[in-house]
Amino acid sequence: MPYEYRKLSPKERQEILELRKQRGYPFHGPPHPFRENGAYLITAANFEHKEVMSSPERRTDFQELLLEGFREIKAEIIAWVILPNHYHVLVAVDTLNDVSGTLKLIHGRTSHDWNQEDGLTGKRKVWYKFSDRLMRNENQLNQTFNYVHYNPVKHGYVKDVQLRQWSSFQRYEIDRGKDWLNQQEEKFPLAPDFGKGWDD
């Protein structure tokens, strides 16, 4: 988690900054080493994982805004989930540059609107910078597809993924059926530590 940086000693912080400098990464934000055509898992969290999207209405509005933003850049939206404090969206895009521009607009607009609604203008940072993971093969892509849908269960919001709104699971359940989804889970099982270190 990015917040672990605060717990490091000055020497450990310096070592991390030197390593990021050598690799050409930004000092304090998630690196984006790949930008080519491909499928990416895009993840963004509310700053310090505070549940800024706790209300159902806010998650519904954000889901519509997020999906419309990706449609505008002609991304193939493969899977998504919106939780009270973060989201994941699995998309295929021509370039990650389009994603960066879209999320900058969406995060900026929602930060302004939500802070205004909550009376926290100028007092709260809403978003931490997004991270991305390039899918290297079909197996990783399918495992990540399953992981996105399992995410609400992992984080303890529901006991059964079928009960979760604000997710593409229900769309696939209608379009492909429960048997297809069950086959996906059986063919591409998740390792116990899938997501560790980047979605704890």
| Interval 61-115: pLDDT, tens | 999 999 999 999 999 999 999 999 999 999 999 999 999 999 999 999 999 999 9
pLDDT of residue 3: 46
Please give the domain boundaries of the chain with CATH numbers for all domains: 1-29 (no CATH), 32-187 (3.30.70.1290)
pLDDT above 70 covers a percentage of the chain that reads: 81
Whether this prediction's pTM lies above 0.85 is answered by no
Q: Say what the pLDDT of residue 13 is.
A: 58
Distance, in Å, from the CA atom of 164 to the CA atom of 166, rounded to the nearest integer, reads: 7
Gap between the Cα atoms of 110 and 98, Å rounded: 19
> What phi, psi does 54 have (nearest 5°)?
-70, -30
Annotate 34-48 with b (16+ C-beta within 10 A) or e (fewer): ebeebbbbbbbbbbe
pLDDT in tens, 185-198: 999 998 888 888 77
